[in-house]
Structures are given as structure tokens and as C-alpha cells.
Amino acid sequence: MRQLNTARDVVNALGGPDAVAKLTGARSTKNISHWVCRARTFPARYHYVMTTALQKKKADAPPWLWNQASSKRR
């Protein structure tokens, strides 16, 4: 399984900003750009839907990218 460590890697693995906007129901790709460039994390409410989509692509990302608690440190 491919390990992704940045928000940008996750967005690219899921098919880019348009695909992520559609997957999450985001209003526009500007939201996605904000997550990648400024916040560098995703809203916690998208953890399940995005990690499920990543699993289908044989990829994984750390929970902290969605502000989720993890036993591992960043």
C-alpha cells in the first residue's frame, strides 16, 4: 500500500481538486486549494469518505491529515 504524507499527495492520488470536490461535496475547488495550500489538512468530517476512496486506490494517509487523533506522532 502506498503511503501518502501530505494533503497534496492525497488530492493527487484521488484524481485532483475536481475529483475531491465531487467526492466531498465541496462547493468549489477553491475549498480544496485552501485545504492543500493553507490548512495543509482536511476537515475531520471527510476522513471516512476520503480514506475509503484512498483504500480503493491502494493508498493510505495518516489520520492527522484530517485532524484525527493517532497513537503515532507526526
Say what the pTM is.
0.90
The residues, ordered by sequence, that sit 6+ positions from 10 with a Cβ below 8 Å of its Cβ are 4, 42, 50, 54, 59, 61, 65
pLDDT tens digit string along 4-61? Answer: 999 999 999 999 999 999 999 999 999 999 999 999 999 999 999 999 999 999 999 9
State which fold the 2-66 domain adopts.
434 Repressor (Amino-terminal Domain) (1.10.260)
Which DSSP string corresponds to 31-46? HHHHIIIII-S--GGG
Residues 24 and 50: beta-carbon distance below 8 Å: yes
Residues 10 and 61: beta-carbon distance below 8 Å: yes
